[in-house]
Amino acid sequence: MRSIPVSDAIRWVGAIDWNLRDFHGYETPRGTTYNAYLVRGTEKTALIDTVKGRFVEELLARVRSVMDPADVDLIVVNHVEPDHNGGLRRVMRAMPNARVVASRSGVAGVAEYHDGLEVESVGADDVIDLGGVSLRFLPMPMVHWPDSMFTYCAEERVLMPNDAFGAHMASSERFADEVGLDLAVEELTIYYANILMPLGKQVAKAVEKVVATGWEIETIAPSHGVIWRGETLGPLFDTYARLTAGETREKIVVAFSTMWGSTDTLARAVVDGIAAEGVEVDLFDLAVTPIAHLTRNLLDSRALLLGSPTLHHGMLYRVAGYLQYLSGLKPQGKLGGAFGSYGWSSGATKQISGQLEAIGFELPFEPYTQKYRPSTEEIAAAREWGAQYARAVKEMD
């Protein structure tokens, strides 16, 4: 299998997971990649990151296209999550002469994941000379695990930041300019929404930390998706600046689950009321919508309105599941609201409201709850209930 040049001394030797469709609950219709990089000096060669366990042979085949894996001198573990570290022991068997290094927290993580495996610690003061090229390290706790670390090759001006600046996207091309900037930025945004949203402040600080080093950067080579170089770096940094600032626009997301169509009818009325106020709105049926797609849409929206009928005194499980997903991502600075129908016992909208508040949504209006099939008057009331949210998000400018 081929390796792909990233710069004079660095080659991509990762794996392409074309058919991954679920990354711990985050749907990945385009699959993903597990990127690893071979940095070759005149005296030593380093492998930056490994891959998910079942892709080790693909990584080794790409390494063999340029050298004997047994001649690799160093393995850098930037992050211990199994999509990058799961194959470490098998890679080490093929590279028996390699030192293995990780951040201080990464050393503990490798030992815990790999039954006591001992590796060496590196930090911001360390430089590993490979002969003509060298590696520096920047521990990045909580971007996005405690062990996360960036690796930098000064001579090649290449930053390898692991999950930061990543995207779940399989492609035959390796660079953002090759797959097309619009697609690359959209996949970057989806990844940020579903993985990094609760860590916006830490990610912004990470970018500041890199800037403070004064490192010159011509290429950013993350561990998932495409590599960013040249003119794509500007849009990459601009996108991350917008995302970490939590930028939103006059937009509302309405999502619902329905039993017999009444909550669906209410949802459409709510959407109509929002649109009539001139505010952008998207409507999603949770029964058929990938939650990663919904969450990406929520990212730059100012309000989430969730609808569910009442079943057994509570909300439908798809609505509960999405609230659980959001409780980890903790969207900030957004309005929330609940609506839904019921037969003989209400309860869903109260339950949804409580959970939205617990997550951090502000609920400026009472939920809209309605019995049996919505009448003409109730549809009009739902429409007005949506319109008041539209007016509220316009005031958030």
| Choices 58-66, 78-86, 345-353, 371-379; region in contact with ligand FEO by CB under 6 A | 78-86
Q: Label residue 73 exposed, middle or buried (CB < 10 Å: 0-12, 13-18, 19+).
A: middle
Candidates 49, 81, 250, 378; binder of ligand FEO (CB under 6 A) is: 81
Q: Phi-psi region for residue 81, left (φ > 0), alpha (ψ -120 to 50) or beta?
A: beta
Helical axes 317-329 vs 291-299, angle rounded to 10°? 50
Nearer to ligand FEO, 143 or 382 (CB): 143
The answer to whether 83 is a known catalytic residue is yes
Task: Please give the distance of CA 216 from its chain centroid, rounded to a whole number.
Answer: 26
Residue 268 has a CB neighbour count (10 Å cut-off) of: 17
DSSP code at position 232: G
Catalytic entry in 79, 187, 240, 378: 79
Residue 79 in the binding site for ligand FEO (CB under 6 A): yes
Select 49 or 277, whichever has its Cβ closest to ligand FEO: 49
Cβ neighbours for 185, distance < 8 A, ≥ 6 positions apart: 235, 236, 239
Q: x/- contact string, 209-248, with ligand FEO (CB under 6 A)?
A: --------------xx------------------------
Calpha distance 217→110 (Å, rounded): 29
To the nearest whole angstrom, how small is the minimum distance from the Cβ of residue 306 to ligand FEO? 28
Q: Which of residues 129-168 bind ligand FEO (CB under 6 A)?
A: 144-145, 163
Question: Out of 26, 34, 152, 191, which one is annotated catalytic?
Answer: 191
| CB-based contact 315:346 (threshold 8 Å) | no
Does the annotation count 34 as an active-site position? no
Q: Is 83 in the site for ligand FEO (CB under 6 A)?
A: yes
The residue to which tokens 């949506």 are assigned: 386
Nearer residue to ligand FEO within complex by CB, 148 or 369? 148
Q: Does the footprint of ligand FEO cover residue 49 (CB under 6 A)?
A: no
Task: Just list the catalytic residues.
Answer: 24, 79, 81, 83, 144, 163, 191, 224
Q: Which residues bind ligand FEO (CB under 6 A)?
A: 79, 81, 83-84, 144-145, 163, 223-224
